[in-house]
Amino acid sequence: MLDTHARKYVQPIIHHSAKRLLRAGLTANQVTVLAFIIGSSSGFFVYIGQPFWALAVLWLSGYLDAVDGTMARLTKPSGFGTVLDITFDRVVEISVIVGLAFAFPDARLALLLLSVSIILSMTIFLTVGAVSEKQGVKTFYYQAGLAERTEGFILFSLMILLTDHLILITYLFFAIELFTAMQRLREAKTILK
């Protein structure tokens, strides 16, 4: 929801960063890999009890993830870049979930269910993107929903910071992801008739 509706407010900053990184000689795919390396360390920082470092690398990777897409659109987007981007986004999310699961074993069932809901929602998202003739600014059709990447980062941040309420927040995240999956499935029925 925030990615779809609030992006226009931060896009000038993202655009500026994208142009600077392009001038520095970096490609969109190089920034995608950098975001992946930085972001996937988040789970490690969660596991060793460094929540502020976990948040810092998580959000930096998210920012670079937005910048790399803008870089691609300023140059030449590639299908392989899209595959890298979406795959690495999931690995960053998995690293947070795994870090939490190792650090807080009592939350493993909730974290497992969250993982299932993310897989379901992303399966619908990617399948609709692949079979839809609609196309937006990105290289595929981007289905909006209640839980997009920014909402996920906010919920992951709450999970990392408020570990006394980890199970409750994880179940809330699970419910939001399921709702988003149903939103996307309903939209798919409408646009893919």
What percent of the chain stands above pLDDT 70? 92
Q: Name the more confident of 108 and 2.
A: 108
Q: How far apart are CA 43 and CA 1, in angstroms?
A: 25
Tens of pLDDT, residues 89-114: 999 999 999 999 999 999 999 999 99
Tokens representing 157 are 């941040």
pTM: 0.89
35 vs 121: CA distance, rounded Å:
22
Query: What domains can be seen in the chain, in order of their start residue?
Result: 2-191 (1.20.120.1760)
Helices within the chain (DSSP H only): 2-5, 7-23, 28-40, 42-47, 51-74, 79-103, 108-131, 149-161, 166-191
Q: Evaluate whether 43 touches 99 at the Cβ level (below 8 Å).
A: yes
Is-contact 145 180, C-beta < 8 A?
A: yes
Average pLDDT, the chain: 91
